[in-house]
Amino acid sequence: MKVMVIQGPNLNMLGIREQQIYGPMKLEEIHAQMKAFADANKMDIEFFQSNFEGEIVDKIQECLGEADGIIINAAALTHTSIAIRDAIAAVQLPTIEVHISNIYRREEFRQKSMIAPVCAGVITGFGPFSYHLAMVAMRQIFNEIEAIKAQQEQQKRG
Ligand code: DQA
């Protein structure tokens, strides 16, 4: 089963931007760790980063028929984008919202997520390790989907 990892605005600047908040790790390093987890846990994985809201909406739509789940850090768009929320609701794929920082102990404008209500769950505040936790959660969701499929097939066989 395949997970699509979607990274929003300015996350391409990790390792450079506000290191006191986001730490020194680059996005490529985070992705390398996620890929290693995926390989070890029999998951396919693809990565996408964009600074443009519409491109992120397009990518979520493309996931239909292409991916089985989404891990998304919509970055600043988390707090503003009804379009991203609607795209997640439209494709109806299990989606995990991720943040490096704990958005609930930061400025008030970051404490509201537009996308959380259409996500399976939210992981926020564990630094780059948030992405690892999201992979563990997605593996669990995939296990549950696979178990349901196997059960349905067995029922069909009678
Ligand atoms: C972030 C938190 C957002 O508020 C911020 O705009 C980001 C990164 C995080 O991962 O902590 O760009 O999503």
Structurally, how many domains does the chain consist of? Answer: 1
Report which ligand 1 atom has the smallest distance to the Cα of 101.
11
In this structure, what CATH number is given to the domain that contains residue 63?
Answer: 3.40.50.9100
High-pLDDT (> 90) share of the chain, %: 99
> Cβ(76)–Cβ(8) under 8 Å?
yes
Bridge partners, 99 (sequence order): 124
* Eight-class DSSP state of 117: G
Distance 127 CA to ligand 1 centre (A): 11
- Domain span at residue 131 reads 2-157
The model carries a pTM of 0.97
Query: Could you read off the pLDDT of 49-65 as tens digits, one per residue?
Result: 999 999 999 999 999 99
pLDDT for 158: 82
Query: Could you read off the pLDDT of 107-141 as tens digits, one per residue?
Result: 999 999 999 999 999 999 999 999 999 999 999 99
Give, for ligand 1, the residue of 11, 51, 81, 112 to mutate: max count of ligand atoms closer than 8 Å to Cβ.
11
> Cβ(28)–Cβ(2) under 8 Å?
no
Query: Could you read off the pLDDT of 77-88 as tens digits, one per residue?
Result: 999 999 999 999
